[in-house]
Structure formats: structure tokens, C-alpha cells
């Protein structure tokens, strides 16, 4: 009836409304025939593949990492793409866990159906779920915001572990405004418990270090001639050998033997990064950490690790559970390290070395003389965040500057002291100063300046510099000894020991007034042979001037030559080592008038 009433037929051809309807139907059918993509889930688990479904069978060759892109808060996310056997869906597997609680978009551009129809460029948006906690007990440890604002404070350890630790405390003394649990520090079965005796830059065991590994520790034919190898030894901080620690370099991996020893053969030469993973040594109630070490290997020879690899033991007192991403700024403290604060911004996600999201960390007190890698300075407090190989990420760009550490002022330094924030980078220069800090207003803590956040909780620490010289230097006018006539500075020196040998040696203490810093023997008092380096222009690469500061405040200026690294001065200066007050270590070499940066 539709044809009869609304159309005419001439010579077998249909005209009028039906003709237009048929044309419109064909066009609609053509549009429907084009493939359509959709997400299987709009709220996606962060640790699973993203599944995209298609309305018809797709060409597997057209679906690859070139045509499928995943974008998130940090930009493009590397993925692996796999098409199903029926061609109706594709699995997009991120190479590492996605950020929990974040928004992602999947782009498909350039894909074709099995019949050759092009899929229009498609953007599919989804969110990821927050990380689930392993148990209700872990959930109970999640810090709650304080009533005064969006800040959560939490102490490491379960309630049972905290109660056990508190029960072990004796008559604690105070260091500044901090109360230690114990009067004297101890090592209990490989676990360091610092006490009041470890304040005042004594965060050490002060025991002789065991011998490092040598080639003679192995059977005669262990090392082949002309082969590049690396060997060493792993121990706990009580110097007991640690067996079954996994040690890896590149494609080579092994475990330590009953004596804590290891050998890696056929490894590349040059600067390499060694992974030391103590988790493989876990057993019963014992748990161990992991860290990275930078090593330099000479080609075609057996190379020793020149120090003992001390693997931190993790106790239940050290562990803390955090949500991922963190819902508010979280401040972690440790019952055995009063005054320490680890600030984790809101929106932070922490991953392990394989990219998996972590909801548990550990803060492990560690003696400065039993650190995983030797320290560049006598840190007044030291600890390890485990796993030390972890990486810090964020779902909020405004809080993406990483973890900030606030260090306690156990040395009772005054307001003029400057803190140097150290970080160990195994891939490059090793220990380096990455930021500076100042004392808080109440003088109890060192707070980092802007840019002091870190994106990897690798070994780090704080040193206190007194390198900046006094405003006035002595002029040598000693007619009113011990007062300098020109400046009024009081300078007093006492020789405690004299050795009259071929090379005479004096141990002389020097005190000078008008000095705002504490040195080796207290406020304004140092040893006559100790020199320090100071740069008025800072230590950016190679500063134009480096000053050598004597114990009495005397100042010798060295200036860099054109296009070089040599600083010249006309005075004769003895050999000394010191740390540049901001970033680089310089060595003063024995010469009439030269100092060279290293």
C-alpha cells in the first residue's frame, strides 16, 4: 500500500518517497556496519588489564601498541595489547600497575574490522579503584585526619608491637625536647634500638667493622682468567652473615651462601647498579629489606664490593599501612626515633620495583656505621625506608614533588646551623646533596627548603654544616694575645699532645669568640689541623671562588682559572678534605697554591 499510494513506477524504476526511504535506509545500514568500541568496565581494578569490546570481529593486525594508547595523570602509560581469538575484544595490559583512584582514557585510532571497515577514532574514559587493604587489621592502622585540618599522623607498628616496645623502655632521658625509649642503644637479634646514648652525633655502634670479602675467600679456580666478575658479602647489622640474599646485576643473579658471600660472573664492566634483595632470606618471624648499590667494575677481572652489604632487618615495630592513593597528607613517625617525621602528600601512590602498588612500608632505624652503603658524613640520625627500591607517584600534579623528611635536632644545633639533605643515587654519582634545610622555629627539627621532596625512598640522610666562616677573620695582630688587636676577637689555643718525630705532629685545640657554630670540641672550639671549605657563591657545579677556613676563622680565597677546574692562591696550604657547604665534595691537595674539584 505504501508503494501504491506514495510512489509511481516508470519503466521498472521506483520514484518518490520509497526511493528516498531506500536511500536513507542504505546510508543508515552503512553507518551501523562500522565497528563500535566500548569498555567492559567503567570502574577498573588498578592491577588488571583493561578490556575493550567491539561490535564486530576486528583485524588483530590493526590492534597493537601503535593504534591503542592509554593516557593517565602522568601521561602515556606503556601497555601490551592482545586481541582475543574471536577478535571481539582486546586486552590492554599496563606494564605496571595503574594509579589507584585515578582517571584514565583509552584511545583507539587506526583499527579496522575483519571486513576492512575503519573504526572511528574512539576515546574511552574510566576510573581505577582505590587499593584494597589485605585485612581488617591493616585497615585499622589507616591514619585518620586530625580535627584541626586535613593532616593524618600515624606511628609505625601495630598496637601490640607499640605496647611491647613501650614495655621495654627504661628511665628515658631527654635530648632537646625528645624523649628516647631507652637510655642506651642496643642491637637485639639484628634489630637496632637507638637510645639517648646515640644522640649528639653518636648514631653508631662504634664496633670494629668485619673484613670485607677478598679473592682468597673462594676456592682457587672460582674466578676464570679474563672474566669480569663481582663478589662480596652480606651481613646483618650485628655482623652475622646473612644467607639466601638475592644479589642481581643485569641478567645475572645469585644468592649468598652460609657465610653471606656471593659471586656474579660474566657481568658487564663500568658503572653498574647492583640489586640486593633480602626478602629471599625471610623465614619464620625474620624479614629483611632491599636496596640498590652503585659499583664500578674493571673489565676482565674479579672485582670486590669494597664494603660489607648490611641488609636491614624489619620488625613489626617498623611497619605502617597507608591507603593508595593517600587520602590526606600523612605524617609517619617511629617510636624509636623521636622527632622524625616522614611527610607523604595526599594523592601519593608508592610502587615496588616491579611497578606493583604498595600499601605497606617500613621505617627501619639503622646505625650510621652499619648502613647498607657507606655514608658520606656522620649523620646524626639515620634510617631506611623499605622497600628502598620503591618509586613514588601521584594522582595529583600539585602534590607530585614526593616524600619530605623532617629530621630531629639531636645535636642541639643553634639557629645558624644549615642542614644538608643527602640522597644516594646508585645509577649516577652515589651520595649527593639534593637540598638544604633550616632549623624549625622552636629549634627542635631540621625542615627542608623548597624542592626537598624525593621520588624514591632510597638511602637518604641529613648532615649539619658549620662551614660558613665567621664575619671577622683574625688579622695576626697578637700584641694583646689572646685578643686580636684589630678585631677584638678572643683566640685561645692549647696543645694537648706533641710528637717530635721526623714529621712533628701537634694536637692543638683552638677556641675563638664571635663564632655562631659548634665544632669538634664544642661551641667555637675546633682542632687546629681541621680545615673546611666554603663557597661564597654557592656550589653550583664549579663556583668562581672557594675559601679555605682555618680553625681560628682565618680565610684563604681560591679563584678558578679560565676554562678549568683549578683554583689558585699564593699561600701554602696543607692537605685536607671537607664537604662543600651545598653540593659537591672538594679535595684540597698538597700544593703551594692549587685546589682542584673532584
593 grid coordinates? 697554591
CATH for 264:
2.60.40.1120
Which range, of 169-178, 525-534, 556-565, averages the lowest pLDDT? 169-178
Which range, of 273-287, 295-309, 432-446, 510-524, averages the lowest pLDDT? 510-524
568 grid coordinates? 689558585
Q: Which residue's C-alpha cell is 593517600?
A: 326
Say what the pLDDT of residue 305 is: 96
**Total Cβ atoms within 10 A of residue 463:** 21
Residues 15, 72: one domain? Answer: no
Residues 296, 373: one domain? Answer: no
Which is nearest to 350 in space by CA: 360, 340, 342? 360
Identify each DSSP E strand in 440-531 by its residue range: 445-448, 460-465, 491-499, 505-512, 518-519, 522-523, 525-527
Q: Are 55 and 122 in contact (CB under 8 A)?
A: no
Give dist(CA 94, CA 44) in Å, integer: 12
Does residue 206 sit within a domain? no
Is 183's pLDDT higher than 80? yes
Give dist(CA 324, CA 356) in Å, integer: 11
Question: Which of the listed residues 240, 275, 307 is the one where a domain comes to its end?
Answer: 307
Does residue 395 sit within a domain? yes
Which residues does residue 431 pair with via DSSP β-bridges, in sequence order?
424
Question: Which of the listed residues 278, 307, 336 is the one where a domain comes to its end?
Answer: 307
Residues 274, 175: one domain? Answer: no
pTM of the model: 0.73
Helix (H, G, I), strand (E, B) or coil at 274: strand
Residues 496, 449: one domain? Answer: no
Percent of the chain with pLDDT over 90: 43
Does residue 133 sit within a domain? no
Count of the separate structural domains present in the chain = 5
Say what the pLDDT of residue 528 is: 78
Say what the pLDDT of residue 29 is: 41
**Which range of residues forms the domain containing residue 96?**
37-128
Give dist(CA 422, CA 383) in Å, integer: 13
CA distances from 232 to 190, 214, 304, 307, 309 (A): 20, 8, 6, 8, 8
Give dist(CA 301, CA 316) in Å, integer: 42
Is 179's pLDDT higher than 50? yes
**Stretch 161-185: mean pLDDT:** 79
Does residue 368 sit within a domain? yes
Give dist(CA 450, CA 437) in Å, integer: 9
Say what the pLDDT of residue 244 is: 98
Give the pLDDT band (50/70/90) at residue 105. Answer: very high
42 or 80, higher pLDDT = 80
Give the pLDDT band (50/70/90) at residue 13. Answer: very low
47 or 580, higher pLDDT = 47
Residues 523, 458: one domain? Answer: no
Say what the pLDDT of residue 41 is: 85
Is 441's pLDDT higher than 80? yes
Amino acid at each position: 500500500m505504501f508503494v501504491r499510494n506514495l510512489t509511481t513506477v516508470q519503466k521498472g524504476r521506483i520514484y518518490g518517497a520509497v526511493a528516498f526511504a531506500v536511500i536513507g535506509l542504505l546510508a543508515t545500514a552503512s553507518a551501523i556496519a562500522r565497528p563500535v568500541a566500548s569498555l567492559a568496565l567503567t570502574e577498573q581494578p588498578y592491577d588488571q588489564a583493561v578490556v575493550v569490546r567491539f561490535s564486530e570481529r576486528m583485524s588483530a593486525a590493526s590492534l597493537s601498541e601503535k593504534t591503542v594508547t592509554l593516557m593517565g595523570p602522568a601521561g602515556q602509560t606503556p601497555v601490551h595489547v592482545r586481541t582475543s581469538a574471536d577478535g571481539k575484544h582486546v586486552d590492554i595490559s599496563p606494564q605496571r600497575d595503574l594509579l589507584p583512584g585515578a582517571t584514565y582514557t583509552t584511545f583507539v585510532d587506526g583499527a579496522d574490522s575483519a571486513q576492512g571497515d575503519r573504526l572511528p577514532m574512539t576515546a574511552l574514559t574510566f576510573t581505577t579503584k582505590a587499593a584494597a587493604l589485605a585485612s581488617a587489621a591493616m585497615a585499622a592502622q589507616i591514619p585518620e585526619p586530625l580535627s584541626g585540618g586535613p593532616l593524618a599522623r600515624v606511628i609505625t607498628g601495630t598496637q601490640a608491637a607499640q605496647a611491647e616496645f613501650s614495655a621495654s623502655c627504661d628511665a628515658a632521658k631527654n635530648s632537646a625536647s625528645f624523649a628516647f625509649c631507652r637510655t642506651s642503644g642496643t642491637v637485639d637479634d639484628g634489630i637496632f634500638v637507638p637510645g639517648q646514648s646515640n644522640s649528639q652525633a653518636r648514631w653508631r655502634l662504634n664496633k670494629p667493622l668485619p673484613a670485607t670479602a677478598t679473592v682468597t675467600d673462594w676456592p682457587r679456580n672460582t674466578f676464570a682468567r679474563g672474566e669480569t666478575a663481582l663478589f662480596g658479602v652480606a651481613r646483618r647489622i650485628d655482623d652475622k652473615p646473612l644467607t639466601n640474599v638475592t644479589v642481581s646485576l643485569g641478567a645475572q643473579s645469585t644468592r649468598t651462601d652460609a657465610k653471606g658471600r656471593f659471586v656474579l660472573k660474566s657481568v658487564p664492566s663500568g658503572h653498574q647498579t647492583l640489586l640486593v634483595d633480602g626478602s629471599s632470606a625471610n623465614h619464620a618471624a625474620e624479614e629483611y629489606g632491599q636496596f640498590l648499590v652503585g659499583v664500578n667494575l674493571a673489565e676482565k677481572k674479579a672485582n670486590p664490593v669494597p664494603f660489607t652489604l648490611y641488609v636491614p632487618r624489619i620488625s613489626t615495630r617498623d611497619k605502617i599501612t597507608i591507603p593508595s592513593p593517600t587520602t590526606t597528607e600523612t605524617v609517619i613517625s617511629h617510636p624509636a626515633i623521636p622527632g622524625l617525621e616522614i611527610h607523604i602528600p595526599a594523592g601519593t601512590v608508592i610502587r615496588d620495583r616491579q611497578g606493583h602498588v604498595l600499601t605497606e612500608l617500613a621505617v627501619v632505624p639503622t646505625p650510621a656505621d652499619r648502613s647498607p652503603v657507606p655514608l658520606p658524613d656522620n649523620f646524626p640520625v639515620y634510617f631506611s625506608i623499605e622497600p628502598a627500591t620503591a618509586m613514588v607517584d601521584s594522582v595529583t600534579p600539585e602534590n607530585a614533588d614526593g616524600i619530605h623528611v623532617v629530621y630531629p635536632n639531636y645535636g642541639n644545633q643553634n639557629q645558624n646551623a644549615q642542614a644538608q639533605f643527602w640522597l644516594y643515587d646508585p645509577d649516577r654519582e652515589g651520595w649527593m646533596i639534593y637540598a638544604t634545610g633550616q632549623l624549625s622555629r622552636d629549634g627542635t627539627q631540621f625542615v627542608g627548603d623548597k624542592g626537598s621532596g624525593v621520588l624514591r625512598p632510597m638511602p637518604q640522610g641529613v648532615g649539619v654544616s658549620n662551614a660558613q666562616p665567621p664575619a671577622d677573620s683574625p688579622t695576626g695582630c697578637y700584641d694583646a694575645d689572646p685578643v686580636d688587636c684589630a678585631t677584638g676577637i678572643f683566640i685561645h689555643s692549647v696543645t694537648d699532645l706533641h710528637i717530635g718525630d721526623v714529621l712533628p705532629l701537634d694536637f692543638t685545640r683552638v677556641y675563638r669568640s664571635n663564632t655562631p657554630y659548634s665544632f669538634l670540641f664544642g661551641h667555637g672550639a675546633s682542632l687546629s689541623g681541621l680545615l673546611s671549605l666554603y663557597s661564597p657563591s654557592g656550589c653550583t657545579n664549579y663556583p668562581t671562588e672557594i675559601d679555605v677556613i682555618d680553625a681560628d676563622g682565618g680565610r684563604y680565597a681560591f679563584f678558578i682559572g679560565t676554562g678549568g677546574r683549578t683554583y689558585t692562591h699564593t699561600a701554602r696550604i696543607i692537605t685536607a678534605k671537607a664537604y662543600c657547604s651545598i653540593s659537591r665534595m672538594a679535595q684540597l691537595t698538597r700544593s703551594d697554591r692549587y685546589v682542584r674539584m673532584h
